[in-house]
C-alpha cells in the first residue's frame, strides 16, 4: 500500500509523497493528459479533412500542402529539448499553459491565411511549438505519478487522441459544409485554448524517500565503529607527549578505565558526522542531461523512433485522399478515418494491459507490435474498395495504438534509460524524431506527385517502419552488453577496496618511526 502523504498542501503547491503514489492526484493528471492528447495529436491526425480544401483554395500540390503538417511535426519534435529545459526551470504547469496559448493563436491566425506560406508560419511554427510545450511535459509528469500502473494508465489516457480523430473527422467535415473550412479552422483553434485549463491541473510531485527511513529505529552501522576507531586513534596520537601508546583499536588502549572518558567525545563527534551525512544536500537538477547519448541502447531506441515516425502521420493524412481516388464518397472516407481511430483506442488499451503484466520484457512486446504495424502499412496498396480499405484501416489503427501509446513511456523502463533520466531522454528522443517528422509527409507527397498513385506514400511509411524494427531489436542486446561491462564483480570490488585512513594518522605514524630511528642512531 502507498504510504500517507508527508505534507498536505494547497492545490497550487507540489504533491509530496514518500514513494511513487501510483494514483492520488495522478488520476487528475491522467485526465488532463487525455484532453491534451485529444487537442494536440487528435487535431494533427484529423487535419487530413482540410487537405483538398487547401489544395483548391491555394491552388497547390499535395507535397506543398503536406509541408504544413510536416513543419508542424518538425517544430514540435525539434524543440523538445527546449520544452524539457523550460519544464525543469519553470515547472510543467506553466509550460503547458503557454503551449495552449500558442496552439490556439496559431490555429486562429491560420484561418485568415492568404497563402500556403502563411500556413507554414502559423500552424507549422507557432502551433507546432505549442504542441511541443503541451504534450511532452504532460506525459513526463504523468510517468512520475505512476510506477506499477504506468504502462496501463498512459495507454488509456493516450486514447484521447483516438477519440478526437473519431469525433473530429466527421464533425469538421459536417462543419465545413455549413460554414466553410476557414471558420471551421477558427473553431478548432478556439477549442484548443482549453489546453490552458488542462495545464493548470499539473501539480508537480516530490518523492522524499528519506522520510520513511528516519521513522525507523536507528541502528549503528558498521561504518560507525570504523570511524570511532579512527577518532580514538587520533586521540591517542595527540596524547603522545603524555605517554599514551599509539593504537588502532580501543581494546588495545592500556588502562581501559582511563580511556573510556576519552571515548565519550569521539562518540559525540561521530554522531554529528552521521547526522550531517543522513541529510546530504540535494544535487542541483540538470536542466537537460545529454549523458543519455552515451547509452548505446538509447541511441538504438532513438533511431527506432526516427524511422518509425515516418509511419505515424502520413497514413492518417493520406487515407482520405486514397479513398477518394478509389471512388469512395467523402462521408464514407470520413468513416474510414473514424474506424481507424476506434481501433487505435483498443490497440492502446490492449498494449497497456499486456505491458502492465509482470514479469514481462516490454521491449520485445513493442518489437512484435512494430513488425505487425509494418505489415499493416504494406497491406494498404492492395485495397481496392471500401471494405478492403476499412479492414486495412482497422488493422493499422489497432497496431498503431499499441506502438504510439507506449513508445515514449517505454523510455522510463530499465531496458532503455530508466525513470531517473526519463525527462531528459524524452526531450532528446523526440528531438531526434524531428528529422522524420520534417521529411515524412513531404517525402510521401513527392512520391504521390511523381507516381500519381497514393499507394507509394504507404510504401515509404512501411519501409521506415521496417528500419525502425531493426533498430528496436538491438536495444536489449546493447543494454545487456553495457551492463556487463559497467558492473564489476563483487570479488574485484573487494580486491580493490582500500580503507580510507586519516591523513594525520599516517603522517604522525611516519614521524614517530623516523624519530625513533634517529634516537637509535644516537644511542
CATH classification at residue 177: 1.20.1250.20
Same domain membership, residue 453 and residue 326: yes
pLDDT of residue 425: 78
pLDDT at 260: 45
Q: Do the Cβ atoms of 441 and 73 come closer than 8 Å?
A: yes
Report pLDDT for 221.
52
Residues in CB range of 379: below 8 A, 6 or more apart: 392, 395, 396
**Residue 282 covered by a domain:** no
User: 61 and 178 share a domain?
Assistant: yes
Q: Is the dihedral of CA 460, 368, 29, 213 positive or negative?
A: negative
Q: Where are the alpha helices (DSSP H) in 59-91?
A: 62-78, 80-90
Domain-ending residue, one of 210, 239, 258: 210
Query: 89, exposed or middle or buried, with CB in 10 Å at 0-12, 13-18, 19+?
Result: exposed
Burial pattern 142-173, b for ≥16 Cβ within 10 A else e, equals bbbbbeebbbbbbbbbbbbbbbbbbebbbbbb
Q: Is 112 helix (H, G, I), strand (E, B) or coil?
A: coil
**What is the torsional sign of CA 371, 377, 383, 385?**
positive
Contact 153, 30 (CB under 8 A): yes
pLDDT for 261 equals 46
- Cβ 301 vs Cβ 366: under 8 Å: no
- Cα distances from 391 to residues 120, 387, 473, in angstroms, run 34, 6, 28
- φ, ψ (nearest 5 deg) of residue 358: -130, 145
Q: What is the pLDDT of residue 98?
A: 94
Q: Give one DSSP letter per residue of 229-277, joined into a string.
A: HHHHHHHHHHTGGGTPPP-SSGGGSS-HHHHHHHHHHHHHHHHHHHHHH
Q: What pLDDT is attached to residue 237? A: 40
Query: What is the rounded CA–CA span in Å between residue 224 and residue 65?
Result: 71
Same structural domain for residues 298 and 170?
no
Question: Using an 8 Å Cβ cutoff, are 381 and 459 in contact?
Answer: yes
Give the span between the Cα atoms of 136 and 424, in whole angstroms.
Answer: 11
- Rounded CA gap, 150 and 275, in Å? 36
Res 39: pLDDT: 92
Cα torsion angle, 28, 29, 30, 35, sign = positive
Say if 235 falls within a structural domain: no
60 domain-assigned? yes
Q: What does the pLDDT read at residue 490?
A: 46
329: enclosing H helix or E strand = none
Q: Which positions ≥6 away from 214 have C-beta within 8 Å? A: 278
Here the cell at position 50 is 482540410
ω into 453 cis (within 30 of 0)? no
Domain check: are 188 and 55 in the same one?
Answer: yes
Closest residue by Cα to residue 194 from 103, 109, 119 = 103
Report the sign of the C-alpha dihedral through residues 203, 35, 355, 421, in that order. negative
- Which of 158, 189, 210 corresponds to the end of one domain? 210
Residue 231 lies in a domain: no
- Host H or E run for residue 125: none
Residue with cell 567525545: 265
pTM to 2 decimals? 0.61
Determine if residue 507 is left, alpha or beta; phi over 0 gives left, psi from -120 to 50 gives alpha, anything else beta: alpha
Which one, of 247, 245, 248, 244, lies nearest residue 225 by Cα? Answer: 248
In a domain, 476, yes or no: yes
448 and 346 fall within a common domain: yes
Report which secondary-structure segment, H or E, holds 206: strand 205-207
Consecutive 10-residue averages of pLDDT for the chain (523 residues): 43 66 84 92 85 86 82 83 86 92 94 91 93 88 81 82 81 89 92 92 75 48 49 45 42 44 44 43 57 78 84 74 82 80 84 74 85 90 86 90 78 73 75 74 78 84 89 83 50 49 50 53 50
CB 32 within 8 A of CB 195: no
**Backbone phi, psi, residue 423, to 5°:** -60, -50
* C-beta separation of 454 from 325 below 8 A: yes
Query: How far is residue 100 CA from its own chain's centroid?
Result: 20
Can you tell me the distance from the alpha carbon of 322 to that of 68, in angstroms, rounded to the nearest whole number? 19
Choosing from 171, 186, 210, the residue where a domain stops is 210
Q: How far is CA 331 from CA 171, 187, 343, 493, in A?
A: 11, 21, 19, 69
362 and 476 fall within a common domain: yes
Domain span at residue 149 reads 15-210
Cell output for 299: 541511441
Residue 338 falls inside a structural domain? yes
Query: Are 186 and 294 part of one and the same domain?
Result: no
Q: What does the alpha-carbon distance between residue 74 and residue 432 come to, in Å, rounded to a whole number? A: 10
pLDDT at residue 276 in the model: 44
Asked whether residue 200 falls in the same domain as residue 72, the answer is: yes
Query: What is the number of structural domains in the chain?
Result: 2
Beta-ladder partners of 207: 17
245 domain residue, yes or no: no
Residue 188 belongs to a domain: yes
Same domain, 191 and 328: no
Instruction: Identify the three-state secondary structure at position 207.
Output: strand
The pairing of strands 15-17 and 205-207 is parallel
41, 161 in Cβ contact below 8 A? yes
Q: What is the largest CA-CA distance in the chain?
A: 116
Amino acid at each position: 500500500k502507498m504510504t500517507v502523504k508527508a505534507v498536505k498542501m494547497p492545490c497550487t503547491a507540489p504533491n509530496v509523497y514518500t514513494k511513487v503514489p501510483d494514483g492520488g492526484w495522478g488520476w487528475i493528471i491522467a485526465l488532463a493528459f487525455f484532453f491534451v492528447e485529444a487537442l494536440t495529436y487528435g487535431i494533427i491526425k484529423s487535419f487530413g479533412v482540410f487537405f483538398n480544401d487547401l489544395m483548391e483554395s491555394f491552388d497547390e500540390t499535395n507535397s506543398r500542402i503536406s509541408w504544413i503538417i510536416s513543419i508542424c511535426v518538425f517544430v514540435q519534435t525539434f524543440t523538445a529539448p527546449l520544452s524539457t529545459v523550460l519544464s525543469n526551470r519553470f515547472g510543467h504547469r506553466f509550460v503547458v499553459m503557454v503551449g495552449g496559448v500558442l496552439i490556439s493563436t496559431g490555429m486562429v491566425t491560420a484561418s485568415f491565411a492568404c497563402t500556403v506560406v502563411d500556413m507554414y508560419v502559423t500552424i507549422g511554427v507557432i502551433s507546432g511549438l505549442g504542441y511541443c510545450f503541451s504534450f511532452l511535459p504532460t506525459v513526463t509528469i504523468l510517468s512520475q505519478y505512476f510506477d506499477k500502473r504506468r504502462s496501463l494508465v498512459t495507454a488509456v489516457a493516450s486514447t484521447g487522441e483516438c477519440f478526437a480523430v473519431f469525433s473530429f473527422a466527421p464533425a469538421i467535415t459536417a462543419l465545413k459544409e455549413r460554414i466553410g473550412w476557414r471558420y471551421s479552422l477558427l473553431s478548432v483553434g478556439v477549442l484548443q485554448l482549453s489546453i490552458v485549463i488542462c495545464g493548470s491541473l499539473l501539480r508537480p510531485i516530490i518523492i522524499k524517500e528519506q522520510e520513511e527511513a528516519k521513522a525507523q529505529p536507528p541502528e549503528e552501522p558498521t561504518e560507525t565503529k570504523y570511524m570511532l576507531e579512527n577518532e580514538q586513534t587520533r586521540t591517542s596520537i595527540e596524547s603522545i607527549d603524555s605517554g599514551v601508546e599509539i593504537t588502532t583499536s580501543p581494546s588495545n588502549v592500556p588502562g581501559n578505565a582511563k580511556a573510556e572518558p576519552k571515548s565519550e567525545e569521539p562518540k559525540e563527534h561521530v554522531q554529528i558526522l552521521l547526522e550531517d551525512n543522513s541529510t546530504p544536500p540535494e544535487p542541483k537538477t540538470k536542466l537537460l542531461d545529454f549523458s543519455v547519448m552515451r547509452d548505446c541502447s538509447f541511441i538504438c531506441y532513438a533511431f527506432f523512433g526516427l524511422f518509425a515516425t515516418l509511419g505515424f502521420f502520413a497514413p492518417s493524412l493520406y487515407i482520405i485522399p486514397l479513398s477518394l481516388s478509389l471512388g469512395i464518397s467523402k462521408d464514407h472516407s470520413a468513416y474510414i478515418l473514424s474506424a481507424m481511430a476506434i481501433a487505435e483506442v483498443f490497440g492502446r488499451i490492449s498494449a497497456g494491459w499486456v505491458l502492465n503484466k509482470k514479469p514481462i520484457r516490454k521491449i520485445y512486446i513493442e518489437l512484435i507490435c512494430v513488425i505487425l504495424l509494418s505489415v499493416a502499412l504494406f497491406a494498404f496498396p492492395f485495397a481496392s474498395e471500401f471494405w478492403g480499405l476499412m479492414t486495412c484501416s482497422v488493422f493499422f489503427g489497432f497496431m498503431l495504438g499499441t506502438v504510439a501509446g507506449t513508445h515514449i513511456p517505454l523510455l522510463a523502463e530499465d531496458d532503455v534509460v530508466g525513470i531517473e533520466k526519463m525527462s531528459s531522454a524524452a526531450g532528446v528522443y523526440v528531438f531526434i524524431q524531428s528529422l522524420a517528422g520534417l521529411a515524412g509527409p513531404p517525402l510521401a507527397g513527392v512520391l504521390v506527385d511523381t507516381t500519381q498513385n497514393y499507394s507509394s506514400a504507404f510504401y515509404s511509411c512501411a519501409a521506415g517502419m521496417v528500419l525502425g524494427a531493426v533498430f528496436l531489436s538491438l536495444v536489449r542486446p546493447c543494454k545487456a552488453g553495457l551492463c556487463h561491462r559497467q558492473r564489476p564483480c563483487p570479488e574485484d570490488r573487494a580486491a580493490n577496496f582500500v580503507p580510507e585512513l586519516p591523513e594525520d594518522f599516517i603522517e604522525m605514524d611516519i614521524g614517530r618511526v623516523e624519530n625513533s630511528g634517529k634516537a637509535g642512531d644516537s644511542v
